[in-house]
Amino acid sequence: MKFIKCSLPGLIICEPKKIKDERGFFTESFRKDLFENFLGSKVEFCQENQSESKYGVLRGLHFQKEPYAQSKLVSVQKGKILDVVVDIRKNSRFYGKYFSIELDDVSNKQLFVPRGFAHGFIVLSNIARVSYKVDNYYNPNSEEGLNYNDPKLDIDWKINKKDIIINEKDLSYSDFNSIDFI
């Protein structure tokens, strides 16, 4: 397993090593000991979520307020997505900046997103199945989100706006400057 630090501190790209032969491939998709060694701290995933979506579906940008904030390890089981995170840590010099990466079922790369980031993704393939482990339980009263199309964030979602499919709840989220991040 290879770990790569991203341009926004705390984000980590995890690249599992694939062992290929005539049968297909094998990979360790997660090794707690190696990951914690690289991270320099413990991580206790307690819930795993999965979604399946069609081309153009945008989910996000979501986050949980304290004390229910969550770190996430995002992976794609089928298809391809553009995974996007926004730094919402007030004391960060990257506050309000975003990072994006394509994740797919070929490279099997994963993205670790620590607490203090809003997260979302858009499906770039016909179908995508996304899975993510979290280190805190979901609490509906703590759920928040950001407007995916906020001009301040200026996120390039990689597809035409007319092709984006988003639900009413995600459309209702406020712009970055309207939210009081705690």
Q: What is the set of active-site residues?
A: 62, 132
The rounded distance, in Å, linking the Cα atoms of 121 and 23 is 32
Neighbours of 178 (CB within 10 A): 10
For residue 111, cis peptide bond before it (omega within 30 degrees of 0): no
Nearest in space to 103 (alpha carbons), one of 116, 115, 85: 85
The rounded distance, in Å, linking the Cα atoms of 67 and 102 is 30
